[in-house]
């Protein structure tokens, strides 16, 4: 399913976290840019504050512009391992004590790791905001734990990998597909890490990663809710601004080379059904104002994905699953599309399908290609464009109903280096996407030279084996965990 919000477009397909932030509805929407203010602390850390007085609650999120993309071969998974170890203590807080203190304040807390960033958050009564700012700044600056804690926790991470990837045939397919699609880009490595790297990881690997990347100038503090901006700024300077400034490491470009031919892989796993996943290299959205052609094409691809799979009864469901207008009837039990156009690395457009009984992966692949070709030849209908745009506007309103949603959106766009009002500018740009633009990208980006195809080849299930989970259509290497 195509999603607009930065929290979804950046985080959900690519993230490993202990749980997803809860999103609660409220009375009236808040403009993404209304009253939001941004400051730079004396050590280079950014502070973003979004007041929302509708309920006596606040969300405190610490975002770091570091994730799996910043790892090097041999230590894959270290960003995620560090996220786990951040709960294991500081100079003054014992292992496990952080979570107990937040709970005692009446709050909930968790963290997430993606390819592009790492984040930590607490949702608490607004009267206890200063307390969590003190706690979070302490572990950011002074994360400290004995080797024995790491040895226990790395086993938790390895079990997470087994449970979420190695025991899930479709997750194995997606992991292998990403590794085949990308060569130079760090996106070819899984967020959770390769098992051999986890086996070889040391406590000092994690400590070194923290020392290198957890610096104030590489972080943003986002606070949303029933707060006073002046007080938040004063507390931020007191607790975060006092952390010594250090330079952000220089990031070397790891540009993905141009693909020069279709790539195909087969993944044999115990499973009941085959799966086809087709990954096309596409341009990224890098700006929300003064758009260049790549930005415009990325937006049109987002609309294309929504037309294919953005609502119940969209094109892929009607044609492949219901068999509407197809001479050979239905070919798939499920089919999906996603356009991952935002991120610090290269972007992908993904088509997926599960063959129906007596249908082959080749037939599903052909049917998916046919739907793209149809749009390339005929464009899309005005009512289809209107429907997906209306849905985006509505989902954006619901997102802004939640202080968690507001904080997620602001942090996600900060990671991209975009302005505070990026959401409003993105919505405005999407409203302008035309049928001709969608038609043009359907014709431009779906050639074989930009395609990698992965096929899950079912093998016999072990005795008492569990069936596969439903395919979501997302090009992801994980998702929320625990």
Q: For the chain, which residues make up each domain, given as ranges? A: 6-239, 263-459
By the 8 A CB rule, do 282 and 364 touch?
no
Share of the chain above pLDDT 90, in %: 84
> How much is the pLDDT for 416?
95
> How much is the pLDDT for 234?
98
Judge whether residue 467 has pLDDT over 60: no
Residue 460: how many other CB atoms lie within 10 Å: 9
- Homologous superfamily (CATH) of 263-459 is Metalloenzyme, LuxS/M16 peptidase-like (3.30.830.10)
Q: Which band of pLDDT confidence, cut at 50, 70 and 90, is reported for residue 22?
A: very low
> How much is the pLDDT for 400?
79
SS (H, E, C) the chain: CCCCCHHHHHHHHHCEECCCCCCCCCCCCCCCCCCCEEEECCCCCEEEEEECCCCCEEEEEEEECCCHHHCCCCCCCHHHHHHHHCCCCECCCCCCHHHHHHHHCCCEEEEEECCCCEEEEEEEEHHHHHHHHHHHHHHHHHECCCHHHHHHHHHHHHHHHHHHHHCCHHHHHHHHHHHHHCCCCHHHCCCCCCHHHHHHCCHHHHHHHHHHHCCHHHEEEEEEECCCHHHHHHHHHHHCCCCCCCCCCCCCCCCCCCCCCCEEEEEEEECCCCEEEEEEEECCCCCCCCCCHHHHHHHHHHHHHHHHHCCCCCHHHHHHHCCCCCCCCCCEEEEEEEEECCCCCCEEEEEEEEECCCCCHHHHHHHHHHHHHHHHHHCCCHHHHHHHHHHHHHHHHHHHCCHHHHHHHHHHHHHCCCCCCHHHHHHHHHHCCCHHHHHHHHHHCCCHHHEEEEEEEEECCCCCCCCCCCCCCCCCCCCECC
Judge whether residue 9 has pLDDT over 90: no
For 415-429, the pLDDT digits (tens) are 999 999 999 999 999
- Homologous superfamily (CATH) of 6-239 is Metalloenzyme, LuxS/M16 peptidase-like (3.30.830.10)
CA distance 23 to 242: 32
Judge whether residue 7 has pLDDT over 50: no
CA distance 442 to 106: 50
For 223-276, the pLDDT digits (tens) are 999 999 999 999 999 999 999 999 999 999 999 999 999 999 999 999 999 999
Judge whether residue 8 has pLDDT over 80: no
Judge whether residue 5 has pLDDT over 60: no
For 43-101, the pLDDT digits (tens) are 999 999 999 999 999 999 999 999 999 999 999 999 999 999 999 999 999 999 999 99
Share of the chain above pLDDT 70, in %: 89
> What's the whole-number mean pLDDT along residues 440-456?
97
Please check whether the two domains, 6-239 and 263-459, share a CATH topology: yes
Judge whether residue 11 has pLDDT over 60: no
> What's the whole-number mean pLDDT along residues 338-352?
97
Judge whether residue 27 has pLDDT over 50: no
> What's the whole-number mean pLDDT along residues 465-476?
46
Judge whether residue 399 has pLDDT over 80: no
Say what the alpha-carbon torsion angle 181, 182, 187, 188 is, to the nearest 10 degrees: 80
> How much is the pLDDT for 464?
64
> How much is the pLDDT for 466?
59
Query: Which two structure tokens, joined as six digits, stand for 242?
Result: 């006092």
pTM above 0.85, yes or no: yes
Q: Which band of pLDDT confidence, cut at 50, 70 and 90, is reported for residue 32?
A: very low
> How much is the pLDDT for 226?
96
Q: Which band of pLDDT confidence, cut at 50, 70 and 90, is reported for residue 155?
A: very high
By the 8 A CB rule, do 269 and 326 touch?
no
Judge whether residue 479 has pLDDT over 50: no
By the 8 A CB rule, do 58 and 124 touch?
yes
Average pLDDT of the chain?
90
> How much is the pLDDT for 15?
55
> How much is the pLDDT for 26?
31
For 352-381, the pLDDT digits (tens) are 999 999 999 999 999 999 999 999 999 999
> How much is the pLDDT for 23?
30
Judge whether residue 442 has pLDDT over 50: yes
Q: Which band of pLDDT confidence, cut at 50, 70 and 90, is reported for residue 325?
A: confident
């Amino acid at each position: 399913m195509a999603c607009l919000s930065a929290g979804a477009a950046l985080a959900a397909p690519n993230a490993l976290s202990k749980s997803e932030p809860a999103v609660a509805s409220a009375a009236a929407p808040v403009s993404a840019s209304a009253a939001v203010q941004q400051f730079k602390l004396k050590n280079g850390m950014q502070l973003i504050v979004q007041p929302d007085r509708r309920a006596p609650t606040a969300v405190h999120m610490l975002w770091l512009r570091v994730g799996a993309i910043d790892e090097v071969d041999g230590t894959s998974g270290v960003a995620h391992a560090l996220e786990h170890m951040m709960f294991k203590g500081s100079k003054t807080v014992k292992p496990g004590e952080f979570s107990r203190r937040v709970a005692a304040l009446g709050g909930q807390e968790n963290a997430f790791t993606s390819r592009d960033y790492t984040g930590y958050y607490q949702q608490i009564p607004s009267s206890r905001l200063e307390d969590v700012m003190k706690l979070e700044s302490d572990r950011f600056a002074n994360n400290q734990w004995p080797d024995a804690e790491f040895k226990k926790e790395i086993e938790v991470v390895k079990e997470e990998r087994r449970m979420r990837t190695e025991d899930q045939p479709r997750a194995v397919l997606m992991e292998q597909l990403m590794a085949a699609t990308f060569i130079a880009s760090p996106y070819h490595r899984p967020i959770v890490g390769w098992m051999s790297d986890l086996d070889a990881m040391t406590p000092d690997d994690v400590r070194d990663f923290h020392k290198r990347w957890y610096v104030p100038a590489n972080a943003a503090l986002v606070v949303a809710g029933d707060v006073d901006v002046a007080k938040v700024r004063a507390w931020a300077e007191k607790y975060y601004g006092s952390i010594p400034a250090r330079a952000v490491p220089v990031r070397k470009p790891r540009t993905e080379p141009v693909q020069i031919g279709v790539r195909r892989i087969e993944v044999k796993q115990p499973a009941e059904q085959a799966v086809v996943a087709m990954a096309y290299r596409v341009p990224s959205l890098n700006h929300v104002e003064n758009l260049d052609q790549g930005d415009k094409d990325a937006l049109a691809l987002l609309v294309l994905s929504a037309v294919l799979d953005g609502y119940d009864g969209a094109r892929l469901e009607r044609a492949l699953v219901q068999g509407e207008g197809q001479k050979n009837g239905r070919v798939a039990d499920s089919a999906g599309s996603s356009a991952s156009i935002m991120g610090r690395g290269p972007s992908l457009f993904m088509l997926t399908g599960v063959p129906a009984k007596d249908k082959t992966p080749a037939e599903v692949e052909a049917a998916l290609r046919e739907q793209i070709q149809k749009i390339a030849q005929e464009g899309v209908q005005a009512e289809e464009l209107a429907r997906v745009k209306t849905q985006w506007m509505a989902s954006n309103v619901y997102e802004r109903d939640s202080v968690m949603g507001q904080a997620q959106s602001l942090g996600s766009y900060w990671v991209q280096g975009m302005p505070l009002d990026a959401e409003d500018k993105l919505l405005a740009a999407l409203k302008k996407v035309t049928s001709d633009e969608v038609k043009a990208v359907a014709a431009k980006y779906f050639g074989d030279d930009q395609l990698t195809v992965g096929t899950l080849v079912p093998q016999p299930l072990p005795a008492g084996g569990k069936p596969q989970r439903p395919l979501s259509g997302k090009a992801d290497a994980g998702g929320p965990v625990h």
